[in-house]
């Protein structure tokens, strides 16, 4: 995406990023902070989150907050507690990026282990749903807020062997569409991003044989992540965007 945001695009915006300790989420959190946002870093590995927080401090940006939560075991009560904690720090939320994700096993449907199915659904769908329910009141207090889910090309067209992960991303697209319709008369917009093949550890475990140097880095795909959090996307809702438009999905990418 060719998008050149103003350097203060997200000045004083308050944005929560899940899975902010690594990969795309880490880059998104650092980028949002660089464009002026106060970021709330949520993830399961505290040491990684603290490193991102320190990097933001070292750059002299608005101080970031850290919330350690393993979404695999997160309950509705945990999500309510997250919202309560955030409400003690800030008056509202201007953005939430649901980025944390679990790949699960890449196997044909007949071989999917039930536990793996439950785990992937829990992290990719249930946790995003529960967190959204808890955070909606804070998002609706903003004069212009953005809720962004992370999808995948296999969440739009089923592909052999992608089992649970693909189904979880179809569910993500569905949740985004329902929410976008429910909140279309409000200041909250709801969209999806499909990052496209990106150089992260999740990608490496899905495609261990590919040359990762040929992939875009998380930093390369940030224009869309910025666009959807800033006011330039204010009237856009219910859309599933590609961070790398025109890129062919799949192994031979």
Under the criterion CB under 6 A, does residue 104 sit at the interface with ligand NDP? no
Find the shortest distance in angstroms from Cβ 241 to ligand NDP.
Answer: 12
Calpha distance 243→221 (Å, rounded): 6
Q: Which residue is nearest to ligand NDP (CB)?
A: 23
- Among 1, 66, 72, 83, which residue sits at the site for ligand NDP (rule: CB under 6 A)? 72
Quick one: which segment of 16-24, 53-61, 108-116, 132-140 binds ligand NDP (CB under 6 A)?
16-24
Nearest to 16 by CA among 54, 59, 69, 57: 69
Buried (b) or exposed (e) across 207-226, using 16+ Cβ within 10 A? beebeeeebeebeebbebbb
Nearest CB to ligand NDP, comparing residues 14 and 100: 100
Nearest CB to ligand NDP, comparing residues 19 and 230: 19
Query: How many residues does the structure list for the chain?
Result: 253
Quick one: which segment of 53-61, 98-106, 136-144, 229-237 binds ligand NDP (CB under 6 A)?
98-106
Under the criterion CB under 6 A, does residue 64 sit at the interface with ligand NDP? no
Nearest CB to ligand NDP, comparing residues 112 and 140: 112
Calpha distance 155→192 (Å, rounded): 11
Find the shortest distance in angstroms from Cβ 5 to ligand NDP.
Answer: 21
Calpha distance 101→124 (Å, rounded): 5
Find the shortest distance in angstroms from Cβ 181 to ligand NDP.
Answer: 23
Task: Report how far apart, in Å, the C-alpha atoms of 122 and of each of 150, 190, 195 are.
Answer: 15, 21, 21
For the residues of 27-70, what is the DSSP string, one character each? HHHHHHHHTT-EEEEEES-HHHHHHHHHHHHHTT-SPPEEEE--
List Cβ neighbours of 209 (8 Å cut-off, separation of 6 or more).
none
39 φ, ψ (degrees, to nearest 5): -105, 145
- Among 32, 67, 101, 145, which residue sits at the site for ligand NDP (rule: CB under 6 A)? 101
Catalytic residues: 165
Tokens of 6: 């103003």
- Among 44, 145, 167, 229, which residue sits at the site for ligand NDP (rule: CB under 6 A)? 44
Quick one: which segment of 29-37, 65-73, 75-83, 232-240 binds ligand NDP (CB under 6 A)?
65-73
Q: Which of residues 163-222 bind ligand NDP (CB under 6 A)?
A: 195, 197-198, 200-203
Under the criterion CB under 6 A, does residue 38 sit at the interface with ligand NDP? no
Tokens of 20: 């902010």
Under the criterion CB under 6 A, does residue 50 sit at the interface with ligand NDP? no
Tokens of 229: 């959090």
For 150, which DSSP code?
E
- Among 99, 134, 233, 237, which residue sits at the site for ligand NDP (rule: CB under 6 A)? 99
Question: Which parts of this chain interact with ligand NDP (CB under 6 A)?
Answer: 19, 21-25, 43-45, 48, 70-72, 99-102, 123, 150, 152, 195, 197-198, 200-203
């Amino acid at each position: 995406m060719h998008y050149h945001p103003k350097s203060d695009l997200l000045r004083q915006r308050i944005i929560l990023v899940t899975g902010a300790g690594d990969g795309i989420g880490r880059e998104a959190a650092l980028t949002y902070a660089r464009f002026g946002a106060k970021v709330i870093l949520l993830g399961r590995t505290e040491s990684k989150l603290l490193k991102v927080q320190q990097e933001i401090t070292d750059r002299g940006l608005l101080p970031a907050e850290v919330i350690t939560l393993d979404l695999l075991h997160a309950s509705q009560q945990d999500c309510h507690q997250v919202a309560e904690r955030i409400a003690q720090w800030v008056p509202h939320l201007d953005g939430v990026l649901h980025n944390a994700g679990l790949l699960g096993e890449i196997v044909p449907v007949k071989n999917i282990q039930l536990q793996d199915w439950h785990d992937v659904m829990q992290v990719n769908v249930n946790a995003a749903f529960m967190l959204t329910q808890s955070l909606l009141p804070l998002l609706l207090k903003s004069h212009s807020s953005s809720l962004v889910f992370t999808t995948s090309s296999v969440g739009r067209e089923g592909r052999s062997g992608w089992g649970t992960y693909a189904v979880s991303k179809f569910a993500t697209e569905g949740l985004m569409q329902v929410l976008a319709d429910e909140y279309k008369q409000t200041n909250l917009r709801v969209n999806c991003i499909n990052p496209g093949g990106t150089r992260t550890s999740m990608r490496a475990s899905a495609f261990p044989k590919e040359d990762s140097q040929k992939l875009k880095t998380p930093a390369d795909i940030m224009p869309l992540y910025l666009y959807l959090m800033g006011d330039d996307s204010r009237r856009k809702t219910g859309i599933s965007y590609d961070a790398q438009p025109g890129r062919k999905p799949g192994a031979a990418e």
